Amino acid sequence: MQKEIKINVKDCVKIFKNNDVNTVAIRKLKCKFYPGEISIIMGPSGSGKTTFLNILGGLDLCDSGLINYRNQDITKFSEEELEKYRFNIGFLFQFFNLIEELTAAENIALPMIMMKKPRKYIKSRVNELLDQVGLIERAKHKPSQLSGGEQQRIAYCVAIANNPDILLCDEPTGELDTQSTLNILNLLHSQIKENPNISIIVVTHDPIFKQIADRLYYIKDGTIIHEMNKDEITQDLKDRNLDHKSFGDQDFSKKMETLIDKESIVEDLLELQNLLKEKLKNLTS
Ligand SMILES: Nc1ncnc2c1ncn2[C@@H]1O[C@H](COP(=O)(O)OP(=O)(O)O)[C@@H](O)[C@H]1O
Ligand SMILES: [Mg+2]
Q: HSE (CB half, 13 Å, CA atoms) of 65?
A: 22
In terms of DSSP bridges, do strands 37-42 and 215-220 run parallel, antiparallel, or are they unpaired? parallel
Which helix (H) or strand (E) segment is 110 a member of?
helix 104-114
Which helix (H) or strand (E) segment is 277 a member of?
helix 250-284
Q: Where are the alpha helices (DSSP H) in 133-249?
A: 148-160, 178-194, 230-239
- Residue 169's identity, in one-letter code, is C
Q: What is the pLDDT of residue 39?
A: 98
CATH of domain 35-64+78-88+164-280: 3.40.50.300
pLDDT of residue 188 exceeding 90: yes
Ligand 1 pocket check for 14: Cβ under 6 Å: no
Task: Say what the pTM is.
Answer: 0.85
pLDDT of residue 179 exceeding 90: yes
Q: In angstroms, what is the span from residue 46 Cα to ligand 2's centroid?
A: 7
pLDDT of residue 27 exceeding 80: yes
Whether the Cβ atoms of residue 62 and residue 14 lie closer than 8 Å to each other: yes
pLDDT digits (tens, 9 = 90+) for 38-69: 999 999 999 999 999 999 999 999 999 999 99
Q: Tell which one of 50, 94, 201, 204 to mutate to probe ligand 1, the residue whose CB is within 8 A of the most ligand atoms.
A: 50
Q: In angstroms, what is the span from residue 25 Cα to ligand 1's centroid?
A: 6
Nearest ligand, measured from the Cα of 45:
1
pLDDT of residue 229 exceeding 80: yes
Average confidence (pLDDT) over 85-101: 93
Give strand pairing partners of 202.
Answer: 40, 169
* 135 closest CA partner among 105, 172, 93: 105
Average confidence (pLDDT) over 257-278: 61
Averaged confidence pLDDT in the chain: 89
Domain boundaries, the chain: 35-64+78-88+164-280
Percent of the chain with pLDDT over 70: 86
Q: Tell which one of 12, 41, 42, 51 to mutate to probe ligand 1, the residue whose CB is within 8 A of the most ligand atoms.
A: 51
Average confidence (pLDDT) over 230-249: 74
Ligand 1 pocket check for 45: Cβ under 6 Å: yes
Give dist(CA 167, CA 41) in Å, integer: 13
Q: In angstroms, what is the span from residue 47 Cα to ligand 1's centroid?
A: 8
Ligand 1 pocket check for 44: Cβ under 6 Å: no
Q: Is the dihedral of CA 107, 204, 174, 135 positive or negative?
A: positive
In terms of DSSP bridges, do strands 215-220 and 223-229 run parallel, antiparallel, or are they unpaired? antiparallel
Ligand 1 pocket check for 49: Cβ under 6 Å: yes
pLDDT, greater one: 284 or 183: 183
